[in-house]
Structure 1
Amino acid sequence: MLSQSVHTLVNQQNGNLSFKVFEFDNSSYFDHIQRNNYFTIIIITSGEGLAKVDLCEYSFKENTLFAFYPYQPFMLASDGPLTGISIQFHHEFFCIYRHHKEIAANGILFNNIYQQPFILLDENTKQTLMNIVREIVNELKMEALRKDEVLVSYLKIFLVFATRIKLEQQSIKEVNGNEKQLLMVQNLRNAIEENFRAKHSASEYADMLHVSPVVLARAAKNHFNMTLSDLITERIIVEAKRELYLTNKTVKEIAYELGYDDEYYFSRVFKGKTDTSPQLYRDTIGFNKG
């Protein structure tokens, strides 16, 4: 465990928290819905419970690593003691969207609507990640030149290792799954990825894949624990967030590019999934922030 409970780095320009590592010894930190404006990584070192993430629920136990992106709603409910560590970093400190080619974490570790938002750690992988965390804490304790650069380097290494583990576990799961259903699910992934801007209804994807809506909906529920409609909408929301975050396109332009002629209807869909309007999302963490 870490020698002290909380270690932080503050942005000297605006006074905002850039980076934080803290140790927790009970469930009170995450036992209510979180919608943080920063990335959150949580390693559960002991305890078990139920994670509520977006529209889904997952049981978890010790040696589980969670990865949540900004404004993703989540909470961890536990009947007994819950201990672990958390790493939190603001997009201004390190933006995984812009460093995707370097670490490949976006769409795998974070922001992956197709997979569960956690990975399981064996003792070796847990120790590897905890060793990196210790190096991060040691750096946070120091008063040294370009501390932020060193922390970003350690963070990148941590994310690369975690992403490797996630990819490994996805491969094992797919090998052990039902081959016919997995092929259907993979075709569904590809179809959504290629057509989510123009096709928004479950029936359109069922027609495209030449299966009944009921069969496709069952496959989506079994594999993703989401309805087919929610799966399509979540992919649209992910893209909308990227556009709001990284570009200066108007909400109307983004809505139109995502297949919505009515920007107000698009805004209602966005708010229904995120509890915030597109404009407020942009003003809070996006392109026009500040």
Structure 2
Amino acid sequence: MLDQSTFTLVNPQNGNLAFKLSIFEDNCQFKEIQRVNYFSLIWIKKGNGKVKVDFSEYDFTENQLLAFAPYQPFMLTSDEKIEGIVLNFHPEFFCIHKHQAEIACNGILFNNIYKPPYVSVDEHSQNILDMVVDQMITEIQNTELAQYELLVSYLKIFLITATRLKNQQQPEEEQIDNSNTAPFILQNLKNYIESNFKTKHSASDYADLLNITPKALAKITKNHFNKTLTDLISERIIIEAKRELYLTNKAVKEIAFELGYDDEHYFSRFFKNNAEVSPQMYRDTVGFARGMN
């Protein structure tokens, strides 16, 4: 590849970062907690270590692709040199919600509270992604007509390839037998959270729905998801709040009410405690319904 290691495209309308591709040879830039207002895809080419994200910690190895949504806190730690590629893109450059029908990466690659935030890259996919990255580097240095459109097209190929991979690698639900009721409970729990997170915010609510003791449900949830049930519920609420903040012009008070919070100030504190930024700041920096693509 070229000697240059960082390639950046700026939104000419506001001067903010639109798209950036970086080649890194150490993890210095990720050693502190990252909270950025754009999507991040980190492809680990060499090395291994640990990734801390939201409330959990996971191991990562070479040829894994990590995916993080705007303001999702993460950091990488490693006792060895790690090398890889980072893609950053702002929702104004490419909004995954608006393009969900064609890309389908939301809820799989990004914003999946039930699965680890990474996907393993096999040899075939590695060849595709390497080719796409090379094309991106070439195009980002090209200021000719339709530069944005071509970069978005390459980004779509990258996202679709990664999303297909993660879909293929989703572990099958554990084999269910008479001695193991956990998979039934976990699947029902996911269904109940998706159906009720706007109105039921406490762990005990879901224990009641599942007819199981809170302590037993807490143990199953922690063992399977590496998160507490309260963490799962909070993450799901925050994902929906973020979606409303940057896809609609609804007032924060209205979003809070729709998510089951009568007190706008309580909701704003809850959002800031989980996202490290206020709802208004999130909207101001991530943007609403004004994406270029």
Shorter-chain TM range is over 0.9
Q: Could you say what secondary structure the match of 2:173 adopts?
A: helix
Q: Hey, what's the Cα distance between the residues in 2 that align with 1:177 and 1:80?
A: 40
Distance 1:177 1:283, change over 3 A: farther
- 8 Å contact from structure 1 (residues 2, 134) kept in 2: no
Give CA deviations for 1:231-250 in whole Å, capped at 9, x if unaligned: 11111111111111111211
TM (normalized to structure 2)?
Answer: 0.93
Q: Please tell me whether the aligned partners of residues 174 and 183 of structure 2 are also in contact (alpha carbons under 8 angstroms).
A: no
Q: Which runs of 5+ in 1 are unaligned?
A: none
CA distance in 2, matches of 1:121, 1:173: 19
Matched, 1:101 2:101: yes
Correspondence for 1:174: 173
- Using CA pairs under 8 Å that are at least 6 residues apart, name the structure with larger relative contact order, 1 or 2: 2
Q: How many residues of Structure 1 are paired with residues of Structure 2 in the alignment?
A: 289
Q: How many angstroms does 1:175 deviate by? A: 4.9
Q: Percent identity?
A: 57
- Report the Cα offset of residue 173 of structure 1: 4.5
After the TM superposition, which residues 254-273 of structure 1 pair with which residues of structure 2 at under 5 Å, given as runs?
Answer: 254-273=255-274
Is 2:215 the counterpart of 1:214?
yes
Residues in 2 aligned to 1:242 and 1:15: alpha-carbon distance in whole angstroms: 23
The one-character-per-residue Cα deviations of 1:68-111 (angstroms, maximum 9, x if unpaired) are 11111111011110100011111111111111111001111011
Task: Note the C-alpha offset of 1:126.
Answer: 1.8
What is the root-mean-square deviation of aligned Cα atoms in Å?
Answer: 1.9
Write the distance in 1 (CA, Å) between the matches of 2:176 and 2:44.
27
Q: Is the 8 A contact 2:247 2:289 kept in 1?
A: no
Q: Are 1:54 and 2:54 counterparts?
A: yes
- State how 1:139-288 maps to structure 2 within 5 Å: 139-170=139-170, 172-175=171-174, 180-287=181-288
2:4 equivalent in structure 1? 4
* Compared CA separation, residues 265 and 95, structure 1 to 2 (3 A): same
Q: Distance in 1 between matches of 2:2 and 2:83?
A: 12
Q: How big is the shift at 1:153?
A: 0.8
> For residues 5-154 of structure 1, what are the structure 2 equivalents within 5 Å?
5-154=5-154
Gaps of 5+ in 2: none
CA distance in 2, matches of 1:176, 1:148: 46
TM-score by length of 1: 0.94
Matches of 1:247 and 1:90 in 2, distance apart? 17
Within 1, Cα distance between the matches of 2:274 and 2:29? Answer: 24
